[in-house]
Every structure is written in structure tokens, then in C-alpha cells.
Chains A and B, each alone.
Chain A
């Protein structure tokens, strides 16, 4: 089973602060995703990537950058954090093809609070 590990589990920063959320997957999946989860909105896709060096824009990308440094590692960057970015962030990964291609494997989440 795919393993997706996120760090940190919790993060508190101030408005204007610089935050990096980390994600590592150990099942050699091609695709990795960053979602935010907010009450009343479900999960919304911020960015995703299909391999090292690749980045695709999701549905709510404003205020976020992301970088995929290796097959395993995907980072979400908030360079000027705002209170509206207070949320629960999930990383996920998936295969590129095959019968399980659409299955997302999620990490346990990072709760970010921007004061």
C-alpha cells in the first residue's frame, strides 16, 4: 500500500510569514497533489505534478507555489501567508496508469494556522 508522509503535522505562522509544507511518497507514483480542506468546501486542488520538475495548476492556486524535486518529494510553498490560507492541507499521490490510476493515496494532513 502507498505511503504518503506529510510534515509538519501542525504549523502556526503569522501573516506575511514564509511556510513550506513537505510531502514524501514511497510507492513510486507518478502523480502527486496538494489539496486544501475547509469546512463547507470539501477538498480543493491547489497544484499537482506528474513527475520531478513538473508542475500543473489546480483549481485554487492563488497564493501558493509548489515544487516537485524528485519522484518522491513534493513541496507546497506559501511565501506571504495570509489568514485565508488557514486550512487543513493534504498531499496525495496516484499511479499514472492501470486499474488503480484514479485512486488517490492521502497523507495524514498538515493543519496550518496563519495568525
Chain B
């Protein structure tokens, strides 16, 4: 089955700097790619998602890059601020219900 590796597990950046989180996956049939944010004491909330026909998507200071050749997905938070401090998860699937595979999460801390 699908294997997803997410790195780094912990990331600390200064306010205004960028933060990059990377996931690699193994299944060539993977066609749906997403990033979730989990704030303290809360459930996960979708940040962005892309399908396999998209290489790059930008929204509100977030950039998702998809490299299908290398089976790599990245999330770039440009100009991070303390409100971005949370745990981030990638989640991918071959668009089959019940087969969304999550990475292990990255705990991001943004300090002033």
C-alpha cells in the first residue's frame, strides 16, 4: 500500500521567514494531494488540495508544489507568522474513498 514520509518532524523558524515541509509518496496511482493544519486542541482543517494535473498552487501565502516524477509534495509557508504555529499533515490518495494516507506530521513553531 501507499507509504508517505513527511519531513521534518519539527521545524522552528523566525517570524517572516519561510517554512518548507516535504512529503514523499510511493504509489504511482496517487492522484489527490492535500495539506491539513492542526492547531492545539483542535481537529485537522484542510489548507489546500491539488489534483495530479497541477504542479503548483498558491493561496494566501501558501505554495504547494507537486513533483510527480520524484513523487514529492511540498508546502511552503512564505513569511510565516506566529499564528502559523501548528502541526501540519500531508494526505494523499488515489481518489479512492477510505484510502487517504496521512504523513506523520510536522510541528511548526514560528517565533517572534
Contact = CB atoms under 8 A, between A and B. Distances in A.
A31 B97 CA distance: 9
B49 A107 contact: no
A2 to B, nearest CB: 11
A contact face: mostly helix, strand, loop, or mixed: strand
A18 to B, nearest CB: 25
A43 B97 contact: no
Contacts of B105: 42
B42 interface: yes
B61 interface: no
Interface residues of A, number: 23
Interface residues of B, number: 23
Interface in A71-115: 90, 92, 94, 102-104, 106-109
Given A90-B43, A108-B43, A42 B34 contact: no
19 contacts: A31-B97, A33-B98, A41-B104, A42-B105, A43-B44, A43-B89, A43-B91, A44-B102, A45-B100, A50-B97, A56-B98, A92-B43, A94-B97, A102-B100, A104-B36, A104-B100, A106-B44, A107-B43, A109-B42
A38 B54 CA distance: 31
